[in-house]
Amino acid sequence: MTDAAPADPRPVQGAPSRPSLLATSDRMKRRNAAEARFRAYGLIAISTAGALLVVLLWNILSAGLPAFQRTVVTVDFTLTEDQFDAAESVLFKTREYETYFIAALSDQLRDRGLDLEFDSASVERLLGKVGATLRSHYRDNPDAIGQPVRFELPTSSRVERYFKGGFARADIGDTNRFITAADLDLADALKQAGVLRTAFNWTFVTGVDTGSDNPGGAGIGASVVGSFFMMLVVLVLSLPIGVAASIYLEEFAPQNRFTDFIEVNISNLAAVPSIVFGILGLAVFIQFGGGQLEIQALKASAPLVGGLVLSLMTLPTIIIATRAALKSVPPSIREAALGVGASKMQAVFHHVLPLAMPGILTGAIIGLAQALGETAPLLLIGMVGFIARYPETFMGGFEGPNSALPAQIYNWASRSDATFIEKAWGGIIVLLLFMLTMNLIAIILRRRFERRW
Amino acid sequence: MYDTRNAERDVTQNEIKMSARKCQVFYGDKQAIIDVDIDVEDKMVTAFIGPSGCGKSTFLRVLNRMNDTIPIARVEGAITLDGEDIYDPRVDPVQLRARVGMVFQKPNPFPKSIYDNVAYGPRIHGLATGKAEMDAIVEKSLRRAALWDEVKDRLQEPGTGLSGGQQQRLCIARAVATEPEVLLMDEPCSALDPIATSQVEELIDELRESYSVVIVTHSMQQAARVSQKTAFFHLGYLVEYGETGQIFTNPRDERTESYISGRIG
Amino acid sequence: MPVLWIVLIVFAAAAIGYAVARNRALASAGGNARGLHSLPSYYGWNAVLMVVAPSMLVLAAWLIVAPVVIGWSVAADLPNRDAMRSGDVSLAMSDIGKLAQCLTVGVREGAIPPEVARGASLEGTDIRETCADLGIALGSDVTRETLTSAQAYRAKTATSALAMGIAVLALAALGFGYAAMRSNKDFRARNVVERGVLVLLVMAASIAILTTIGIVLSLIFNTVAFFRLYPAAEFFFSPTWNPSFGGGSTLGILPLLWGTLYISLIALVVAVPIGLFTAIYLSEYAGPRLRAVAKPAIEVLAGIPTIVYGLFALLTVGPMLMAVFGRDGIGWMQEASSVMTAGLVMGIMLIPFVSSLSDDIINAVPQSLRDGSLALGATPSETVRQVILRAALPGIVGAILLAASRAIGETMIVVLGAGAAARLSLNPFEAMTTVTAKIVSQLTGDDDFASPEVLVAFALGTTLFVITLCMNVGALYIVRKYREQYE
């Protein structure tokens, strides 16, 4: 044994200089305090993040849920043959229908013991152009003449906002030509009588966008369809291409500069700002698109164009997820397949790919959800125009100009009317519901088919 | 032949440094250590041997409460250091670990310079008041780990750049820099080549002068070479504990004999 | 013939080809599949590949190249082409394109007699008004020359479409015949199919490169066009941004860059501490139950689209800040949209991004380092600060770079929350604007595409792309190096 122990005195072991383990030294107290502070920072950070999430969600729900409700006035109305003929023969036809309606409403109120005075002007302020609604109903359904019909008439957006607490009675001046205090009295009375009530707003869910003169009638439905067609394009393009690219990179690509370049490219594309893809879409469209060949009627705002742009954006996400899924299939599976005489291609397509499928689908769904919420590129290619509509044919769904969910939301948010703002929040709820559903499907897929090797 | 020179030399009874009575360790529902009673003596190398999964490493981690970092681990029984229960709720494991140091299976130098690796412990425990004092501690620790001559010219280079054996000695230097009373070593040579192993073994023998050293090892030869006392663990039980010479030449328990002669393990 | 029909016909031919090739191969081996070189289905797939791949490639190439070629040839035929500047040419071409489109739509809707569209003169018809009725606004009055060009344009387009149909279908037929002919028992169908599939896989992988090339080209071409109309030095160094569509605009990028960086800075100041501490707490302190709740919650936050944050900024955070710092409060703020509004909300958006990236990176630090530190008697926080964060530092720097690049490229939040005024100011409660917001506003106006006021968006886009590219590549490099260290 060599004596390399240092010459300096060794520490005294077990001597009283060693304090008891049970006593906490001052330094230790300070260190423990620092520890507690550090933990507290962590807790503060995590609860801040949590609180922000709660505030955000609460804000979305409280501002958006009213969009799914509207106030309606329910009136039982019977139009006789004579009344129909009489109304159709005069010059101001809708005025005539309105008179009938006022009579019917008064009767109904009187039955409930309410005697209220109202003229056609206040009815118009409350319910909009009732006469036109009635007239078009009877002209479209002549059979309904003579039969009792129950009309559910949406109130004007101002009355609706009044009941949703958008403004107080004191806020309206005497000269407001859209609503008066007397109208609100009438509305309150109607509500008391049960004639006016809150109902689910199907128009919002199924409807199309409207002009700024009718904020109450605007709906999200058409833009949901636009988004649907766009997602279809994204799915059909980016899933096969993404999977094919991943298979090549993960299974076949030799380790060389070119492969490396592709990889750097893909990770970089995943981080390129989405608006740059919008610029690409716009530039390509202007260079090659509009007014040519068979796609002559194709506008930049067609879901096909939007879908193409979003596909390019989604591709890196899908490739990254697919490669991770392929990587997680152990090499023993490939070796087993090669061992029984399968070609490399067969080993990949018959064994590796099916095993990686849940992971690939999960990645694809998450990529789609991302694409669904993307807005900036759509702004550039012009999907924010006032053109949300239902396509007439299936192909029309791809080619015809349309809006998309996030674009429609942006569009509403940039109008000043409070009702449109409410609709924008409502649209966000719809958008988040779709994304939540997609994420749930992804989570279920992952849970159900997750394999641990 | 086993190197029995050490074993014959140090059979005197030393002061008892750590002891365990009725120690049980559970990982969730699984019991990993059953009824272990042991006294670890000061200024002596104690080796824990036994087949894989016998609980020797688990028990080692009991001695400086490293099991606390595993959420599902639970320790019962009385473990004392200088007669004080180290699992007493008033005991701060941080303070305990300053006195019961540990060296791990794989060298794990921090991604810092060699100097900072060694100075890390003294710094957090406030053992040095100035730069000069810290320099002295670092030099002393590196000398004690027999590494000083190899690294004294490159103290500011990263510790991860050293060779495996040097890294492990750096970790030992790091552990002794805080002036612990007990040094726990969990298979410290298993990741090292034979030359580095013999360097570290030599070092362990020197460390015995100042500390109580507990070493877990897979190699019976190593246990015979470096330790004065040996404990044989099997299936969570402490089967036999005694002087190294006696354990290897004349085991009392059948299981110990089977293990030593290579029938189990 | 519509493209859709061509595609359908080709695929139908492929389906038939599959059956034919498979049966021919089987027949050549006397109906015994064991006598074949490859499985019968491979002969079928060979036919499918031969029919579909070349024809679809030609179709795609034609669709991309033909419009350019037609455009060039029409432009070359423009009267007094030599006297025109490039801006005038593109103006004229845009008119011709619109007119051609109007003619097509008009003929389809019956608003324009086919003979006008084909070649008759426009005497007696007000084509401009007709087009406006059809929803196509023509820039200037339709001259004789424009009409002639548009008619030529349509004629060439029609010819090209016809030629394309014939070429694609002929290729498909050729492929069909070739595959059917080669389908006999000695043909190595599997090898050929696998080679073909490999080529397709390589092509799919190259799309990533094509996308990048597309982005770079579309940015560069238009940026060069912009710098022809506007001095580059002024763009990069002028401290004023004042586009006026009548001409004589000052288009300096500095105020936009300043707004972008200022907002990103505020966002990072919010997101980095919160995100980093969240990640630290979750990976080092939190129990499994908190982790099980917090991690998905953070992922939810990360999945929320930016339009939602934009709305949150515009409608909630802005007014809230206004109430505190606005005229009724401290009086620092003039309007709800401001650097602070956008920065705060962007910070919220980045929290999950920073935290999940940091979480990955912290978890990649080996457990042995934690053990080593704890065994020396370090407290958990000392371990985190002095060992883990130190080991993870490069990775975290990479994560912050990625977050910064995201902040710089973020569009919706700044479009809705930051304001529209370009200014160089230090007050974070003032409205400022960013590069991305101006890209949107310059490109969504109704202005002519050849004007510098629109083209400047591409120069802005190029700047944005270059900045984020550098940050991404740098960050990816750092993160990659860091990962390798612990693998």
Q: Does A44 touch chain C (CB under 8 A)?
A: yes
Do residues C160 and C290 both lie within one domain? no
Residues ≥6 apart with Cβ < 8 Å to C145 = C78, C79
B64 residue type, one letter: N
**DSSP 3-state of C329:** coil
**A185 and A243 assigned to the same domain:** no
Q: What is the mean pLDDT of chain C?
A: 84
Chain A residue numbers with beta carbons less than 8 Å from the beta carbon of C281 are 39, 42-43, 45-46
Is residue C470 in some structural domain? yes
Choose one of C187, C215, C250: the last residue of a domain.
C187
Query: Is the CB of residue C80 less than 8 Å away from at least one CB of chain B?
Result: no
B95/C366 Cβ within 8 A: no
A348-360: pLDDT as tens digits: 999 999 989 888 9
Share of chain B above pLDDT 70, in %: 94
Chain A residues with CB under 8 Å of B143 CB are: 4, 6
Q: Which pLDDT band holds residue B118 (cuts at 50, 70, 90)?
A: very high
> Does the CB of B91 have a partner CB in chain A at under 8 Å?
yes
Q: List, as ranges, residues 29-58 from A with C-beta within 8 Å of B.
A: 31-32
Q: Which of B84, B179, B205 has its CB closest to that of A20?
A: B84
Does some domain include residue A21? no
Q: What is the extent of the structural domain holding C433?
A: 241-486
Domain boundary among A130, A165, A200: A200
Q: What are the C-alpha distances in Å from C207 to residues A234, A238, A246, C212?
A: 15, 10, 12, 9
Given CB atoms, is B81 within the 8 Å cutoff of chain A? yes
User: Which of C375, C377, C387 comes nearest B110 by C-beta?
Assistant: C387
**Could you tell me the pLDDT band of residue C31, with boundaries at 50, 70 and 90?**
confident
Which of B5, B95, B124, B208 best probes binding to A when mutated, by most A CB atoms within 10 angstroms? B95
Looking at residues C155-180, what average pLDDT do you find? 89
What's the number of domains chain C is made of? Answer: 2
The backbone torsions φ and ψ at residue A154, rounded to the nearest 5 degrees and listed phi first, read: -70, 140
Kindly report, residue by residue over C325-378, the tens digit of the pLDDT: 877 777 777 788 889 999 999 999 999 999 988 988 898 888 899 999 999 989
Start-to-end Cα distance in chain C: 57
What is the total count of domains within chain A? Answer: 2
Q: Which one of A2, A11, A28 has the shortest CB-CB distance to B92?
A: A28
Residue C226 inside a domain? The answer is no
Contact assignment for B144 to A5 by CB distance below 8 Å: yes
A192 and A248 fall within a common domain:
no
Torsional sign, CA A328, A333, A334, A335: positive
Q: pLDDT (tens digit, 9 = 90+) per residue, B184-233?
A: 999 998 888 888 888 889 889 888 888 899 999 988 889 999 999 999 99
CA distances from A370 to A434, A438, B169, C353 (A): 11, 10, 51, 14
Question: What's the whole-number mean pLDDT along residues B80-108?
Answer: 89
Question: Which residues are registered as beta bridge partners of B80?
Answer: B19, B85
pLDDT tens-digit map of B239-262: 999 999 999 888 988 898 888 887
Q: Domain B4-110+179-260 is in which class?
A: alpha beta
Q: Which residue among A170, A200, A230 closes a domain?
A: A200
CATH of residue C268: 1.10.3720.10
Query: Is the predicted pLDDT of residue C413 greater than 50, yes or no?
Result: yes
The reply to whether A17 touches chain B by the CB within 8 Å rule is: no
The reply to whether C163 and C253 lie within a common domain is no
In a domain, C203, yes or no: no
Do B92 and A11 lie within an 8 Å CB cutoff?
A: no
- Average pLDDT for C20-36: 83
Extract the tokens encoding A207: 């409807």
CB contact under 8 A, A279 and C63: no
Q: How far is CA A151 from CA A72, A109, A127, A144, in A?
A: 9, 15, 12, 12
Q: Do A425 and C436 touch (CB under 8 A)?
A: no
Q: What is the reported pLDDT for B142?
A: 93
Greater model confidence, A49 or C299: A49
Clarify whether residues C170 and C81 are in a common domain: yes
**Residue C408 within a domain:** yes
Whether residue A246 is contained in a domain is answered as: yes
Residues A1, B205: C-beta atoms closer than 8 Å: yes
* Residue A374 belongs to domain spanning: 221-449
The residue among C141, C168, C187 that closes a domain is: C187
Residue A410 lies in a domain: yes
Please provide residue B230's backbone torsions phi and psi, each rounded to the nearest 5 degrees. -135, 140
Tokens 């939190």 belong to which residue?
C286
C122 band by pLDDT with thresholds 50, 70 and 90: low
Cβ pair C371:B69 closer than 8 A: yes
Residues on chain C touching A56 (C-beta within 8 angstroms): 301, 304, 308, 312, 348
CA C266 to chain centroid, in Å, comes to: 27
Predicted structure pTM score? 0.82
C299 and C423 co-located in one domain: yes
| Angular region, B66: left φ>0, alpha ψ -120 to 50, beta rest | alpha
C183 and C247 fall within a common domain: no
Give the residue on C whose Cα is nearest the Cα of B95.
C377
- Whether residue A291 lies within 8 A of chain C, CB to CB, comes out as yes
Same-domain status, A358 and A318 = yes
B184 close to B101: Cβ distance less than 8 angstroms: yes
Which residues of A100-255 form beta strands (DSSP E)?
148-154, 196-200
Asked if residue C7 is part of any domain, the answer here is: yes
Domain extent listing, chain B:
4-110+179-260
| Residue pairs between chains B and C whose CB atoms are closer than 8 Å | 71
Q: How confident is the prediction for chain A on average, in pLDDT?
A: 81
Last residue of a domain, one of A142, A168, A200: A200
User: Which of C289, C361, C376 is the best substitution to test chain B (most B C-beta atoms within 10 A)?
Assistant: C376
Query: A49 to chain B, minimum CA–CA distance in Å?
Result: 26
Give the pLDDT confidence score for residue C154 in this predicted structure. 81
CB-CB under 8 Å, C464 with A275:
yes
Residues of B with CB under 8 A from a CB of C: 64, 66, 69, 71, 94-99, 101-102, 104, 106, 108-112, 120-121, 124-125, 171, 174-175, 178
A14 assigned to some structural domain: no
Token pair listed for A31: 């260190």
Give the Cα separation of A243 and A263 in Å (integer): 14
- The helix-helix angle for A26-64 and C339-364 (nearest 10°) equals 130
- How confident is the prediction along chain A (453 residues), in pLDDT tens digits per residue? 444 444 444 444 444 456 777 788 888 889 999 999 999 999 999 999 889 989 999 999 998 888 888 888 888 878 788 888 887 888 777 888 888 888 888 888 788 777 777 777 777 777 877 777 888 888 788 887 877 888 888 887 777 778 777 777 777 766 666 777 777 777 887 887 777 888 888 888 888 887 777 777 788 888 888 899 899 999 999 999 999 999 999 999 888 888 888 888 888 888 899 999 999 888 877 665 443 333 334 455 678 888 889 999 999 999 999 999 999 889 888 999 998 888 888 899 999 999 898 889 888 998 999 999 998 888 888 776 656 667 767 766 776 777 888 988 998 888 878 888 888 999 999 999 999 898 888 888 877 776 665
Looking at per-residue pLDDT, the higher value among A144 and B94 belongs to B94
Instruction: Please report the DSSP string for C105-136 in residue order.
Output: HHHHHTSS-HHHHHT---TT--HHHHHHHTT-
User: Counting Cβ atoms within 10 Å, is residue C289 exposed (0-12), middle (13-18) or buried (19+)?
Assistant: exposed
Interface contact A383, partner C, CB < 8 A: no
Q: Give mean pLDDT, residues C382-389.
A: 92
Residue A444 maps to which CATH number? 1.10.3720.10
Q: Which of A21, A24, A26, A35 to mutate to test the interface with B (most CBs of B within 10 A)?
A: A21
Against chain C, the chains showing at least 3 CB pairs within 8 Å are: A, B
Same domain, A256 and A403: yes
B/e letters for A79-91, b = 16+ CB within 10 Å, e = fewer, are beeebbeebeeee
> In this complex, do A432 and C304 lie within 8 Å of one another by their Cβ atoms?
yes
Q: Which residue has the tokens 């006598």?
A: C35
Instruction: Give the C-alpha distances (Å, rounded to integers) separating C423 from A110, C410, C434, C440, C463.
Output: 64, 19, 10, 18, 18
- At B183, the pLDDT band (50, 70, 90 cuts) reads very high
| Chain pair A-B, CB pairs under 8 angstroms | 61
Q: Tell me the shortest Cα–Cα distance from B11 to chain C, in angstroms.
A: 30
- Within this chain, do residues A133 and A86 fall inside the same structural domain, yes or no? yes
Residue B9 has pLDDT above 60, yes or no: no
Per-residue pLDDT at A11? 43
Query: Do residues C180 and C251 both lie within one domain?
Result: no
Residue A90 lies in a domain: yes
Contact A56 C198 (CB under 8 A): no
Decide if C297 and A372 are in contact by the 8 Å CB cutoff: no
CB-based contacts of B187, cutoff 8 Å, min separation 6: B57, B105, B216, B217, B218
**Pair (C299, C428) in one structural domain:** yes
Contacts of C368 in chain B (CB under 8 A): 104, 106, 108
Determine the pLDDT at residue A108. 80
> C74: pLDDT confidence band, cut at 50, 70 and 90?
confident
Does pLDDT of C430 surpass 90? no
